[in-house]
Structure 1
Amino acid sequence: MDEVSFTPRELDVMSILWRAGSGTVSEVREALDEDLAYTSVLSALQTLEEKGFVRHEPEGRAYRYHPTVAPEKAGRSALARIREAVFQGSAELMFAQLVSDRRLKREELERMRHLLAERLEEES
């Protein structure tokens, strides 16, 4: 499971599972912004299970689904795809776009600075 890639609907479902830790089809359906049929949510969860991104266990008459991939791993994969597709492979251009966002608070920028300093120390 090196490549972690989600369709937009799968990402919505995974986001709910990551936040809640687990969920039944009904719980996931309720938490979605979009009003989807039960079978559509079930189908998304089954597809995610086939891909190895979730697992299920019986809970009464339903199944409870649990994520098997960490959001950080999915994030790394998504960022790599964005870096290649949007920023011509340049992490520098992607970073410049990120830090130019005026909605970032000073505290977030300071934490980013600290992370960069730590990473630079590792390279020394």
Structure 2
Amino acid sequence: MVDRISDGEHAVMDVLWDEAPLTAAEVAERIDPARGWSDRTVKTMLARLLAKGVLAHEEDGRRYLYRPLVARADYAARESRKLIDRLFGGRAAPLVAHLAEQDQLSPQDIAEIEALLKALKP
């Protein structure tokens, strides 16, 4: 079981899910500049993610190359399930209803949900 990944750690994981392996400097180059992170901040995030067991690293000369040990889809599935369990009693329908009631579903979202439901019907 993977510990929860913070929002900052998630930004690092997004970079590595998109492209890996990368050095710490390469990760720092790809982080959104709006975050204003230094290389040291990125290295701190990488160390946290290593400690959580979601990253691996290997030596490449005097630097380390980092790569994810957890697939993005697997992490998203686990976090989605936790959210649905915690907030909606383990049921997805109340989540969709909540989003609809809050006007959080675009016409494209609704069309995609309808297509998914249609594909699920036998």
> For structure 2, which runs of at least 5 residues remain unmatched after alignment?
none
Q: In the alignment, which residue of structure 2 is the partner of 1:69?
A: 70
SS at match of 1:52: coil
Q: Look up the match of 1:17.
A: 16
3-state SS, counterpart of residue 105 of structure 1: helix
Contact 1:18 1:71 in 2 (8 A): yes
What is the rounded CA distance, in whole Å, between the counterparts of 2:107 and 2:54 in structure 1?
A: 31
Query: Which whole-Å CA distance do the structure 2 matches of 1:98 and 1:57 have between them?
Result: 43
TM-score for the superposition, normalised by structure 1: 0.76
Please name the residue that 1:109 is paired with.
111
Residue identity over aligned pairs, in percent, reads 27
SS at match of 1:64: strand
Provide the TM-score with structure 2 as the length reference: 0.77
In 1, Cα distance between the equivalents of 2:44 and 2:14? 16
- Give the distance between the partners of 2:68 and 2:17, measured in 1 at CA: 7
Gaps of 5+ in 1: none
Count of residues paired in the alignment: 118
**TM-align CA RMSD:** 2.5
In structure 2, how many angstroms separate the alpha carbons of the residues matched to 1:25 and 1:104? Answer: 40
